[in-house]
Amino acid sequence: MNSLFEYLLRLGDDSLILGHRLSEWCGHGPILEEDIAMTNISLDFIGQTTTILELAGQVEGKGRTNDDLAFLRFDKEYRNLLLVEQPNTDFGFTMMRQFLFDAYRKPLFEALMKSNNKQLAAIAEKSLKETKYHLRHSSEWVIRLGDGTEESHSRIQESLDTLWRYTGELFFSNEVDAELTESGVLPDMSGIEAEWKQTVDEVFAMATLTIPESPWKFEGGRIGKHSEHLGYILTELQYMQRAYPNMEW
Amino acid sequence: MKEQDIAILEQKFQEKIDNDIKIEPNDWMPDAYRNTLIRQISQHAHSEIVGMLPEGNWITRAPNLRRKAVLLAKVQDEAGHGLYLYSATETLGADREQTIDDLHSGVAKYSSIFNYPTLSWADMGAVGWLVDGAAIMNQVPLCRCSYGPYARAMVRVCKEESFHQRQGFEIMMKLAAGTPEQKEMAQDALNRFWWPAIMMFGPNDAESKHTAQSMKWKIKRHTNDELRQQFIDVTVPQAELIGLTIPDPLLKFNEATGHYEHGPIDWDEFWEVVKGNGPCNKDRVDARRKAKENGLWVRQAALAHAEKKKLRKQAS
Ligand SMILES: [Fe+2]
Ligand SMILES: [Fe+2]
């Protein structure tokens, strides 16, 4: 197994699938400003996907382009988190999903900036700028909705109750990580979980939200075992490439 | 105010317009001018927002990453256009909430082109090329509109519209140069969007009830038929360049006038769609209404939070 390729798929697929989910909001946001914000964030994610999967294709060395990787793999070959493929449900759910992810992505990119792989470090640096803005945006909404009205509070608490089970997978680690750590591609990642937890605790305190007690954590995305949702995402995402193979657009 | 005073104000107002001095929000203006602008700018704003839907329809199915990114950027621009235009209506005293409710209740109109479905990827090309292309023809003269905030909004909007038109044409060009299936997809999109696009300029001059007054006020600079002609003259050679056929068997170039002549426009269809009987009128308005209804709790929460924050600040 090519560990760096595998790791880049994780990064690229998280961006691709979450970008896809956000783009589903386009034209349907609760206010026009949020239509713009979600489309803009989706665009950042598609931009990240483009550079990360391009690098993945080079690292793999089999001549696959970023589009080949984005559009022509089977579901088991996607390495995104279960968290990012969860459906939009409502605006609060979308913001909670985003917040839990952004709070992880920020320390992750900060760490990856120290990678000995120059290209990966450069991607991390560029993406970090975007991620900081995404995190500010999603934290503000979690706080607004948690603190807002009785209805918004109970809705966003319910979103947290549902999504919390997917957060264990954020810190998934296997032989891929071990090997990349050994070779110095992955710098010390030990602080990421603590930083994530601190961000989450701070924001939830302001939002008056409570972390659910369920100890059970779902994982599988990182090794290609996905939820039922991914198949439908890919059906749309891949439609053109599957229906009209080998054409240029 | 006495009738005499109003007559003087109206005269001064018209003099300003005749001298190309912009009218600004705090200037005196006749009610009819104000109402015409509110109607026109809010229709324009609604068109930007409703127009996000037929294109938003293909974002999740865009064929590659580059096209997906470009389409997202384009649709995001349209939302931005809607936002500045709603703000421009507010400078005239319109209430944004009410303006949007008028769209949802069917009182306010928007460009009928968005009541046609987008059925294939090529429609993203046709919409950019033809619909944004027609929008440019309508909007470039609006950059010189007598009402300052509208004119300034249009300067910014037009820059983005020309990027939209180009990306649409580029999609079509690529398809037209592609496989037989791709070329057919492009031709089919042109067949479906051509006539609705040329109807975007509105009824013939003889039927257009607001044109004369709007031209006197310099809200409008050219008649519907002039703009339509300009659009056809520019677009037909573009179609020829990429090997697509305009679906009008009577279309021909008149050497003497230097203009294309086109076949009869089906105005019955136009008026039916305006009345609400187009293929997607109901879907479009329902989608916007649903977005607003589903977002109510979010907007209430944002207000409640802002209020609580203010009180906490005062208390501390
Ligand atoms: Fe626009
Ligand atoms: Fe546009």
Q: What is the CATH number of the domain that holds A38?
A: 1.20.1260.10
Q: How far apart are CA B161 and CA B164, in angstroms?
A: 5
Q: Confidence band (pLDDT; 50, 70, 90) for B281?
A: very high
Decide if A63 is inside a domain. yes
Decide if A75 is inside a domain. yes
Q: Which segments of chain A have a pLDDT < 70?
A: none
Q: Does the pLDDT at position B1 exceed 80?
A: no
CB spacing of B65 vs A67 below 8 angstroms: yes
- Across-strand partners of B260? B253
CB spacing of A236 vs B60 below 8 angstroms: yes
Q: Does the pLDDT at position B309 exceed 80?
A: yes
Decide if A215 is inside a domain. yes
By CB atoms closer than 10 A (0-12, 13-18, 19+), residue B104 is middle
3-state secondary structure at position B157: helix
CB spacing of A148 vs B300 below 8 angstroms: yes
Nearest to B93 by CA among B161, B17, B43, B38: B38
Q: Does the pLDDT at position B208 exceed 90?
A: no
Among chain B residues, the shortest Cα distance to A44 is held by B69
Residue B187: the pLDDT is 98
Decide if A249 is inside a domain. no
B89 and B35 Cβ atoms separated by less than 8 Å: no
Decide if A217 is inside a domain. yes
CB spacing of B304 vs A24 below 8 angstroms: no
Distance in Å, alpha carbon of B113 to nearest chain A alpha carbon: 17
Q: Which domain holds residue A219?
A: 3-243
Distance in Å, alpha carbon of B300 to nearest chain A alpha carbon: 7
Neighbours of A67 (CB within 10 A): 21
B263 and B232 Cβ atoms separated by less than 8 Å: no
By CB atoms closer than 10 A (0-12, 13-18, 19+), residue A228 is exposed
Residue B294 CA to its chain's centroid (Å): 26
* B132 alpha carbon, closest ligand: 2
Decide if A22 is inside a domain. yes
Q: Rounded to the nearest 5 degrees, what angle is found at the Cα of B171, between the Cα atoms of B169 and B172?
A: 65
Q: What is the pLDDT of residues B24-45, one digit of tens each?
A: 999 999 999 999 999 999 999 9
Residue ranges of B 181-240 with Cβ closer than 8 A to chain A = 181-182
Residue A216: the pLDDT is 79
Q: Does the pLDDT at position B296 exceed 90?
A: yes
Q: What is the pLDDT of residues B247-263, one digit of tens each?
A: 999 999 999 999 999 99
Is A92 an interface residue toward B (CB < 8 Å)?
yes
The total number of structural domains in chain A stands at 1
CB spacing of B73 vs A49 below 8 angstroms: no
Q: Model-level pTM? A: 0.96
Is A247 an interface residue toward B (CB < 8 Å)?
yes
For the record, the structure tokens of B309 come out as 């924050």
Is A143 an interface residue toward B (CB < 8 Å)?
yes
CB spacing of B291 vs A30 below 8 angstroms: yes
Q: Does the pLDDT at position B212 exceed 90?
A: no
What separation in Å is there between the alpha carbon of B159 and the centre of ligand 2?
A: 10
Among chain A residues, the shortest Cα distance to B67 is held by A249
Q: Confidence band (pLDDT; 50, 70, 90) for B22?
A: very high
Residue B97: the pLDDT is 93
Q: Which residues 6+ apart lie within 8 Å of B26 measured at CB?
A: none
Decide if A110 is inside a domain. yes
Is B8 an interface residue toward A (CB < 8 Å)?
no
> What average pLDDT does range B219-232 have in this prediction?
95
What separation in Å is there between the alpha carbon of B303 and the centre of ligand 1?
A: 29
What is the secondary structure of A29-65 as a DSSP string?
-SSHHHHHHHHHHHHHHHHHHHHHHHHHHHHHTS---
Decide if A79 is inside a domain. yes
Closest Cβ opposite residue A148 in set B56, B61, B304: B304
